[in-house]
Structure 1
Amino acid sequence: MSIPTTHPFDFDPTYGMQLEELLAVEPPEAPAGFDDFWKARYLKALAVDPQPVLRRSKITHADWHVLDLVYISTSSFRIGGWLILPRKGEVRRGLVVGHGYGGRDRPDFDLPVEETAVLFPCCRGLSLSARPPISQNPSWHVLHDIDKPGSYVIGGCVEDLWLAVSTLVALYPWVSGHIGYSGISFGGGLGAMAIAYDPRIDRGHLALPTFGDQPLRLTLPTVGSAQSVQAYHKKHPDVLETLRFYDAATAASRIKVPMLTAVALFDPSVAPPCQFAVANALPKFNEIFILDAGHFDYPGSAKQEAVLRDKIGQFFRVP
């Protein structure tokens, strides 16, 4: 293990917790109506026709056909992204890939998957799906409509992922039942909420997932989007009632499909105990992969990432 010992932060990104303590973190209790809230949103999203439009992208790659993609999400929100298709073999599986809070400017061609149609959506308000009045700055995006539980932007972003699944099913009906999800950080937290209520997703990989244990997330110093939520909470303490409905750890406890979760012992942007709250909430047959650090360069990171990459390849292997 090579957990960073020197860093520029005025707080300890391990929060003084060892692995044993992190593995003991439990998800918070669900607010009344949590499941009904998300099931209703899912049914609403399922009724939307994504109307995907594809065109050849200016981006090219030796192993993948690259297509620019636009589809329609809830509230008629236009979502931009990319679809990549293997040059070799047939499409036998689908994969939706979420992004971090930095957004996405191109597909990730390093995914260790084969015979898979891979969809890279940009969630509403970010990158190719930018639209006023939603800010592209993570510190402001995370606050958009936070005072309105039913229309908080994070819920819309989860719906964007469900419509990404609908898009894959519309384009390749035979992959239905064989669609996975992979997301990091922002995309990891959204993924927990999306997978919990979408039976069309058959497995998921979440790395450094955010939005876990919202009551705890409000109390731990951070440099991530949680910092602006904490500042808002100081002036509007009742916002916790909204946040409890957008808790990735609470949602994770509802997931019933195979999961591979990568969580860090040191992370200045997404507090490790909040990451572990998500991982620990999953049924115990799922695998938790431990990284020394997240959102921070450290010695040995390339080696750990290579091992994780191999695991991801095996996890999403076409049966």
Structure 2
Amino acid sequence: MPSLAHAFPFDPRHGHTRESLSGVPAPAAPEGFDAFWRGRYAEAREVDTAPELGPVEEERDGVRVHGMTYTSVGGVRLGGWVALPDGTSPPGGAGARGAARYGFVVGHGYGGRDRPGPDLPLPLPGAAAILPCVRGMGTRGRVPGIPDTADAHVLTGIGARDTYVIGDCVADLWCAASALLTLAPELELPGAPRLGYLGESFGGGLGALALPWDARFGAAQLTVPTFGNHPLRLTLPCTGSGEAVRAHHREHPEVTEVLAYFDAATAATRLTLPTLVAAALFDPAVPPPGQFAVYNALAGARELKVLTAGHFAYRGIAEEVRELRAHRARFFGEHLGR
């Protein structure tokens, strides 16, 4: 494991080695875990997402990127972007939208997104994608009463499982998938699932919580996923949203009962679709043991790409990013390609 110089007042490896990380477990599910999430999913599927596509904002990487809005649970109207094939993919013609062969829902990190740039190009040619801003996050996800900073957002409604904002953010992803399928109905043709999921950090944790219940997805990539093994996370200092949760827990220890329903590692024990996890050995924002807990718990086909670090600049990061992009293209080609 390479040595990384840093000035954090704690060890971003938390004393772990690659070998010890492979043994980090997932917490047991609380009573009613599956019923809770199945109920949330059923509620989200009842929503008429009514997506509205805006004008083209940029054209690159074989897609045209539009601004868009859609409706999620609670009648909340959210925004984001949609990338649609630009007509170079058959059967489109010059100036026409090509038929999408695959679709992706792309989750974002804590802090949201102000543009779709870093999430393109998509893993497979001829793909469409929706890049939503979940409630409270990013310039197109602002919602009255929901803070737009990670430390405050992660505590919103945390007093009860039915009010915790993280559950609504998961539902925002399910509704985003519904909106994409409305805009690209060719993706709902009979056969194997044609949707993939991409999520990093906050988006990785939300993906782990969302995917076990949604059969529309056929494969996923979770990069440095958060929310893994909350009981362990509460003992580990960090610079991310987990530190706000740790501080809240010191004053409200009963919050562990709520967090148990939002544990990405627990959810991963129900996640059977092929999943690629990119987990870091060193990460000041999302403790590596929580990341590896998600990977270790996966119930289906899985692949692991070990990163030197997450949420931290280091020599060699550009090469690792290129390797990960190539890895995910091969992975989705195997599991979604046809």
TM-score by length of 2: 0.91
- The one of 119, 140, 145 equivalent to 2:152 is 140
Whether contact under 8 Å (1:3, 1:266) holds in the other structure is no
Instruction: Map Cα deviations across residues 275-297 of structure 1 (whole Å, 9 max, x no partner).
Output: 00001001363101100100001
Q: Distance in 1 between matches of 2:286 and 2:61?
A: 35
Residue equivalent to 1:129: 141
From 91, 95, 118, the equivalent of 2:100 is 91
- Match for residue 318 of structure 2? 302
Q: CA deviation at 1:61?
A: 3.2
Question: Partners of 2:3 and 2:175 in 1: how far apart?
Answer: 38
2: CA distance between counterparts of 1:42 and 1:99? Answer: 20
Change (3 A) 1:62 1:45: closer
Q: 1:3 to 1:178 in 2, by over 3 A?
A: farther
Contact map agreement 2:208 2:264 (CA 8 A) in 1: yes
Structure 2 contact 58–64 (Cα < 8 Å) conserved: no
In structure 2, the gaps of 5 or more residues are: 90-98
Match of 2:199 in 1: 183
Amino acid at match of 1:160: D
| 2:274 aligned residue | 258
2:69 is aligned to 70
Q: Distance in 1 between matches of 2:317 and 2:67?
A: 32
Identity of counterpart residues, as a percentage? 47
Tell me what 2:17 maps to.
Answer: 18
Among 226, 230, 234, the residue aligned to 2:242: 226
Distance 1:200 1:60 in 2: 27
**Pairwise CA distance, 1:62:** 6.1
Tell me whether 1:160 sits opposite 2:172 in the alignment: yes
Instruction: Provide structure 1 residue ranges, at least 5 long, that are not aligned to the other structure.
Output: none
Aligned length: 318
Offset of 1:60 from its aligned partner? 4.0
C-alpha distance in 2, partners of 1:3/1:121?
37
Confirm or deny: 8 A CA contact 1:3 1:265 kept in the other structure: no
2:134 alignment partner AA: C
Counterpart of 1:119?
A: 130
Q: 1:201 Cα shift?
A: 1.1
Deviation at 1:202, TM superposition (A): 1.0
TM normalised by structure 1 equals 0.97
Runs of 4+ in 1 over 4 A off after TM superposition: none
CA distance in 2, matches of 1:316, 1:65: 21
SS of the aligned residue for 1:129 comes to: coil
Report the Cα distance in structure 2 between the residues aligned to 1:146 and 1:170, rounded to whole angstroms: 32
Q: Which amino acid aligns with 1:81?
A: G
Residue equivalent to 2:57: 58
The residue identity in structure 2 corresponding to 1:154 is: I
Deviation string, structure 1 residues 162-182 (Cα, Å, up to 9, x no partner): 001111222223313200100
Whole-Å Cα distance in 2 between the matches of residues 62 and 12 of structure 1?
39
The question of whether the paired residues in 2 share the 8 Å contact of 1:3 and 1:298 is answered with no
Give, in whole Å, the separation in 2 of the partners of 1:155 and 1:255: 17
Counterparts of 1:65 and 1:73, CA distance in 2: 24
